[in-house]
Amino acid sequence: MNVAEAVGRALVAQGVTHVFGVVGSGNFHVTNAAIAAGARFIAAAHEGGAASMADGYARVSGQLAALSVHQGPGMTNALTGIAEAAKSRTPLVVLAPEATTARSNFFVELAGLAAAVGAGFRRVTAAHAAAEVAAACRAATTGAGQTVVLGLPLDVQAMPAGGLAIAAPPDAAPGAGSEPAIAALVEVLAGARRPVFIAGRGATRSPLAARQALCALAERCGALLAVSAAARGLFAGEPWYLDVSGGFATPLTAELLTGADLVVAWGSTLNMWTTRHGRLISPATTVAQVDVSPAALGVHRAVDVAICGELAGVATACLDVLVRRDVARRPGWRTPELRARIAAEGSWRAVPYADDTADGRIDPRTLTIALDDAVPVARTVVIDSGNFMGYPSMFLAVPDSAGFCFTQAFQSIGLGLASALGAAVARPDRLTVAALGDGGFLMSVAELTTAVRLALPLLIVVYNDAAYGAEVHHFGPHGHPLDTVRFPDTDLAAIARGFGCAAATVRAPTDLRAVTEWLAGPRDRPLVVDAKIVASRASWWLEEAFRGH
Ligand SMILES: Cc1ncc(C[n+]2csc(CCOP(=O)(O)OP(=O)(O)O)c2C)c(N)n1
Ligand SMILES: [Mg+2]
């Protein structure tokens, strides 16, 4: 057996079931070996799409995924998606062939590319190919997670593989925090009158365990529950759930957060998005942070208590101490009055607004609320970047954290469509809704061909303002010329039909009949909704983004 074959087999032995990619000469054999060993291969139109599909698949399934690319240009095409995955700590292994000599047209300095976007790097050897694959998979799946580029030099791929024993994937057993650290957290929890827990991306790695442990501890301490956008949905259905802390926070959530006397961040770094540049946490509030990665502690703001440990383990250890010390169950601010307020005001749908629908353009809020009503709750919502992004993030309910895929760690536009394909492959039992801007849609439109080929029941909603709206709203108020960021109004429905999708143009709520008809039908192809939206309004969450430039 040669190394290419050994690598493909070892990858599957490590638990990889889905490989996304574009096949060229350098990854032909390794990809076929993975398929022969039982993996499903999803062929994308572009490596950028393949990378985002793998990323979306891994996020939504919670499983390690693999990306397979051709050497050189296949890798550079995939880089933006790999950067997003690396920054999000998505467990992903990139099968990356390497030209053997620097004189090859395909040569790039692969280790440098990986380092440049924050991904890990390993290179296989003939003697220990399977062990290298195992090590890459272990690095990807343990601790906080990692995206790992696995270099596969072409000459090494052709060599006979030594050391064929394939080790089983080891169990990760991160610690539950040191005793003094647990004692310090218990101390602030026991003293708090108005605590809030904010769970972040770190809590979504084992969402059920995190939810259960955090809810139990919050109940004992009388804490309210919030999330960063990356963990949206984690506490769905909990009566004390305030939804997102940050730019997308409801007025009620913002009010309660600023009134907290203790904020505990669980797998969240409390970055500028989660705290509105710090404004959501009052200066007098005690702040504690729990994270599996020591490098994450205190990275964005000073914290009073910092604990390195696995979230559910730390939460359970704190609860045990409280129970053992017989610290009385505290209602905190869990009063019947506040519970009723959260039920009445805790969602964006409860916040009144004046509908701007007119002159053949639909108000994006009205559009999104109508979609929320039409689409079954068993859904996965995937969001691209742009001015539009708050509407689906705020008005579309999600069933849990796997139901919300938010690829914003690199703040790239154009990743959402392919991420949604990966999400749809991961959860065929749920309806995947991709929410995109027209700019991001056109940047990634080639992957419609993949969605049609896979016959994915994907609802693709394009908030079409015929512009890079974010830039229009960023620079327009300062009187700058906007010709470079506005386009002619394009018939995206016609483009989508050309790919074989079902399509509809929506200018008013009545046009959404097309969506209900598609939902009722066989759903044997994607539906693209070209929503001509009212474009006069800059979104308030973008003001936060402009501050962060
Ligand atoms: C790859 C990439 N290119 C450019 C940008 C800068 N950028 C941020 S938002 C945006 C406009 C996006 O337009 P669209 O997808 O139509 O969404 P809208 O803002 O109009 O809602 C641009 C160009 C970016 N973030 N990523
Ligand atoms: Mg736009």
pLDDT of residue 328: 76
Residue 80 CA: nearest ligand 1 atom is 1
Cβ contacts of 435 within 8 Å, gap of 6 or more: 381, 382, 383, 384, 388, 389, 391, 392, 396, 416, 461, 463
Residue 473 CA: nearest ligand 1 atom is 19
Of 81-85, 467-471, 512-516, 540-544, minimum mean pLDDT range? 540-544
Q: pLDDT of 501-535, one tens digit each? A: 999 999 999 999 999 999 999 999 999 999 999 98
DSSP letter, residue 511 = G
Residue 389 CA: nearest ligand 1 atom is 21
> Does pLDDT of 461 surpass 80?
yes
Instruction: Quote the ligand 2 centre to 450 CA distance (angstroms).
Output: 23
Instruction: Quote the ligand 2 centre to 445 CA distance (angstroms).
Output: 14
Q: Which pair of structure tokens corresponds to residue 317?
A: 């250890």
What is the spatial distance between Cα 90 and Cα 208, in angstroms, rounded to a whole number?
18
Average pLDDT along the chain: 94
Q: Which of the four pLDDT bands, split at 50, 70 and 90, describes residue 179?
A: confident
Q: Which pair of structure tokens corresponds to residue 226?
A: 């919030």
Residue 437 CA: nearest ligand 1 atom is 15
Q: pLDDT of 242-255, one tens digit each? A: 999 998 999 999 99
Q: Which ligand is nearest to the CA of 384?
A: 1
Instruction: Quote the ligand 2 centre to 537 CA distance (angstroms).
Output: 12
Protein residue with least CA distance to atom 11, ligand 1: 468
Q: Which ligand is nearest to the CA of 436?
A: 1
The pocket around ligand 1, CB under 6 angstroms, is made up of 385-388, 411-414, 437-440, 463, 465, 467-471
Instruction: Quote the ligand 2 centre to 172 CA distance (angstroms).
Output: 43
Instruction: Quote the ligand 2 centre to 386 CA distance (angstroms).
Output: 7
What is the spatial distance between Cα 119 and Cα 101, in angstroms, rounded to a whole number?
23
More confident call, 341 vs 544: 341
Q: Which ligand is nearest to the CA of 471?
A: 1
